A and B are shown apart, each in its own frame.
Chain A
Amino acid sequence: ALANVFGLGRPALPEEIAAWDLDVSPDGTGLPAGSGSVEDGEMLFAEACSICHGDFAEGVDNWPKLAGGEGTLADKDPLKTVGSYWPYLSTAWDYVHRSMPFGDAQTLSADDTYAIVAYILYSNDLVEDNFVLSNENFLSVEMPNADGFILDDREQTEAHFWTDAPCMENCKDSVEITMRAMVLDVTPDEGDAAAEPAP
């Protein structure tokens, strides 16, 4: 690394770094010491989270569902939750700790966060009701979709989109309209316009 070239800025103090550097990586780096039980998590969740996410993390109205959806990822309408989709538990801890509850973020202690994450795991049937999550056993939890992700492979699987000479003439024999937005009629402020009959 080079020596400072402009000499601008000032050294960050340890307290400042500790206040802002809260991220937790998949290997557990960044997790503070602490623990929380499913039982405590259930209570905390009921107070701070259930109004949007439901008593059992099943979601209320349009708010995100945190539990359920196992085995649906290849379905027509997959249900992607912490249990069915998220590859790493670290993400759940990190995100809840820093950005939840919505509208009152950064109010949960480390122990609160362990407890709430333990309850989310329980809601997804991934741990028993007497489970206690801590920085010690954090990596022992297996996330069902941990192997469900591949690196961006567009340049291989979509290599045929790179083409020297795209068709310019006689590219299709016929063209038919197969779907129409006016039939669905969900565009805002079109409520007074009756959908037209299909052709």
Chain B
Amino acid sequence: MSESSPKNAPSRRQFLTGAAAAGAGAVAGGAAGATGPDPLITEVQDWARATGDGVDATPYGLPIQYESDVVRRNVEWLTADTISSINFTPIHALDGTITPQGCAFERHHSGAIELRKQDYRLMINGLVDQPLVFTYEDLERFPRENRIYFCECAANTGMEWAGSQLNGAQFTHGMIHNMEYSGVPLRTLLEEAGVQAQGKWVYVEGADASSNGRSIPLEKAMDDVLVAFKANGEALRKEHGYPVRLVVPGWEGNMWVKWLRRVEVMEGPVESREETSKYTDTLADGTSRKWTWVMDAKSVVTSPSPQAPITHGPGPLVITGLAWSGRGAITGVDVSVDGGKTWMPARLAAPGTDKALTRFYLDYDWDGSEMLLQSRARDGSGYVQPSKAQLREVRGENSIYHNNCIQTWWVKANGEAENVEVS
């Protein structure tokens, strides 16, 4: 797989090289002052003499080559094949809150299908006055909304239930993206068909072979669910459901049905494979929760983290990360550098918004000693992100899904960070 190529590998060797180079830089550029004139300043560089690319060089641009490590990554051993599988957003390298679509994670059950707008059909049927078929063009004629929401896979952090496994925020917390969606409220389409009084649920399914059918209570369907066709200003990417996907704010990513082809109004839930065999959460006594739709408040420090070590030595350090909650807006994030003994309030880059990613910063003067770095989110409902011990106490270790525990990074004196659990 391309993801395995050494080019993209944040190997320990690269880390050490980077640390050594940064160490030299620290001497040159730190408080000690320059040891001599910097040739990057004193010598005329190519880019200051010759010309760059013309405006016709790149009709649709990709990131500069030096950012080639900011890519989706696959973990081969997680799934039987790459078709019904997952990859991970490089959250360790991003800032702000909007996820670039090109590196926003994917989760498919029968691959990313190619569905042209001309071939697209959306059916509304079941307990409605008039079953309807819409074309893509029809959808663009309904009144539109723009909303920013996170889509988090129910299994995000799922590999970490029984211990620390994967060494990097991308792998432990990267089954998430956050986009600005443009689309039509599902409510509008349901009202167009006329929901009958017996209708209590909708069953939504995709055009792909897996179908990914899920049941959603009518109240949610009529509340804030969007039928979206644009994300971050442009058409959805193929792998994110082009041309139309469902956006189900605050709820587990599995319900965000891609390549949406049908919405059926029903009296009861279908209890499909994706809400019985999968996306049910087994507790320690062997019983399982079903319909665990909401994603609870959660956060993670994205830098420093195992893939984003400190390379600049002691002194000013930006500790930053993401917080989000399916129950509303993030109201605060606390950061600990001592494994949760003491906490400091972090600064939110902007006030939290409903069911969307929030960026936080703690501007810290690092003395070069080891840290056990944690973040703890709070949301508008008063919910405080729990520790893994607190979660395990209620749920055991076999829930697979909905692991929103506090993450710990062990930042060592050399600036390297590791995924650990602490007492």
Tell me the minimal C-beta distance from A83 to chain B in angstroms.
12
Assembly CA distance A94 to B269 (angstroms): 13
Whether, in the assembled complex, B364 has its beta carbon less than 8 Å from a beta carbon of chain A, the answer is no
By a CB distance below 8 angstroms, the chain B residues around A26 are 268, 271
> A11: CB under 8 A from chain B?
yes
Does A80 lie within 8 Å of B262, measured CB to CB? no
* Contact B165 A186, beta carbon cutoff 8 Å: yes
Q: Does A33 contact B (CB under 8 A)?
A: no
Whether the Cβ atoms of A180 and B164 lie closer than 8 Å is yes
Residues of B within 8 A of A23 (CB): 203, 205, 213, 264, 270, 272
- Contact with B3, one of A27, A162, A180, A188 (Cβ below 8 angstroms): A188
Residue of A nearest to B79 (CB): A62
> Quick check: is A32 within 8 A (CB to CB) of the other chain?
no
Within 8 A of B (CB), among A50-69: 52, 61-64
Write the nearest CB–CB distance from B131 to chain A, whole angstroms.
4
Q: Is B293 a contact partner of A187 (Cβ separation < 8 A)?
A: no
Complex CA distance for A167 and B374, rounded to whole angstroms = 14
Residues in B neighbouring A77, C-beta threshold 8 A: 398
Chain B positions within 8 Å of A162 at CB level: 381-384
Question: Which listed residue, B125, B126, B342, B398, touches A171 by the CB 8 Å rule?
Answer: B342
A74-115 vs B: 1/0 string, CB under 8 Å?
101110101001111011001100110011011000000000
| Interface membership of A47, Cβ < 8 A | no
Chain A residues lying within 8 Å of B205, measured Cβ to Cβ, are 23
Q: Which residues of A lie under 8 Å from residue B272 when comparing CB positions?
A: 23, 91, 94-95
Residues facing B in A131-189 (CB within 8 A) are 148-154, 157-158, 161-164, 166-172, 174-182, 184, 186-189
Q: A23-B213, A157-B394 are in contact. Are A184 and B123 (CB under 8 A)?
A: no
| Most A C-beta atoms less than 10 A away, residue of B76, B109, B261, B386 | B386
The number of residues on chain B lying at the interface, defined by a beta carbon within 8 Å of a beta carbon of chain A, is 109
Cross-chain pair count, CB within 8 angstroms: 273
The distance from the CB of B302 to the nearest CB of chain A, in whole angstroms, is 16
Residues of A within 8 A of B49 (CB): none
Q: Which one, B19-27, B146-154, B284-292, B346-354, is touching chain A?
A: B284-292
Closest to A84 in B: B286
Q: How far is the CA of A180 from the CA of B418 in the complex (A)?
A: 7
Q: A8-B141, A105-B209, A148-B288 are in contact. Are A73 and B282 (CB under 8 A)?
A: yes
Collect the chain A residues with CB atoms within 8 Å of residue B132's CB.
9-12
The contact string, 1 if C-beta is below 8 Å from chain A, for chain B 371-386, is 0100010100111111
**Pairwise interchain contact B262-A189, C-beta atoms closer than 8 A:** no
Question: In the assembled complex, which residues on chain A have CB atoms less than 8 Å from the CB atom of B209?
Answer: 99, 102-103, 105-106
A4-B192, A184-B165 given as contacts; is B343 within 8 A of A166 (CB)?
Answer: yes
Cα A150 to Cα B109 with chains together (Å): 26
Whether A175 contacts B341 in the complex (CB less than 8 A), given A99-B211, A149-B288, comes out as yes
Answer whether residue B101 sits at the interface, using C-beta atoms and an 8 A cutoff: no
**Selected interface stretch from A14-22, A36-44, A117-125:** A14-22
Q: How far is the CB of A107 from chain B (nearest CB, A)?
A: 10
Contact between chains at A190 and B334 (CB < 8 Å): no
A193 touches B334 (CB 8 A): no
A91: contacting residue among B192, B273, B285, CB under 8 A = B273
Instruction: Let me know if B164 and A184 touch, CB within 8 A.
Output: yes
- Residue numbers in B under 8 Å from A186 (CB-CB): 77, 165-166
- Which of A16, A175, A192 contacts B12 (CB under 8 A)? A192
| Contact bitstring B301-343, A, C-beta under 8 A = 1, else 0 | 0000010000000000000000000000000001000111111
Given contacts A188-B75, A193-B11, 15 further A-B contacts (CB under 8 A): A17-B123, A91-B271, A94-B270, A161-B385, A170-B341, A171-B343, A177-B410, A177-B420, A179-B420, A186-B165, A186-B166, A187-B166, A189-B9, A192-B13, A193-B13
Which residues of chain A have a CB within 8 Å of any CB of chain B? 1-6, 8-12, 16-17, 20-21, 23-27, 52, 61-64, 73-74, 76-78, 80, 82, 85-88, 90-91, 94-95, 98-99, 102-103, 105-106, 148-154, 157-158, 161-164, 166-172, 174-182, 184, 186-190, 192-193
CB pairs A–B below 8 angstroms (18 shown): A6-B188, A8-B134, A8-B138, A8-B192, A21-B123, A78-B398, A91-B277, A99-B211, A152-B289, A161-B386, A161-B390, A169-B342, A169-B343, A181-B166, A189-B9, A189-B10, A192-B11, A193-B12
Measured CB to CB, the residues of B under 8 A from A are 3-4, 6, 8-13, 73-77, 79-80, 83-84, 109-110, 123-126, 128-134, 138, 141-142, 163-168, 171, 188, 191-197, 203, 205, 209-211, 213, 261-262, 264, 266, 268-273, 276-277, 280, 282, 284-294, 296, 306, 334, 338-343, 372, 376, 378, 381-386, 390, 394, 397-398, 410, 418-423
Give the 4 A-B residue pairs with the shortest CB-CB distance, closest first: A1-B194, A189-B9, A175-B339, A74-B286
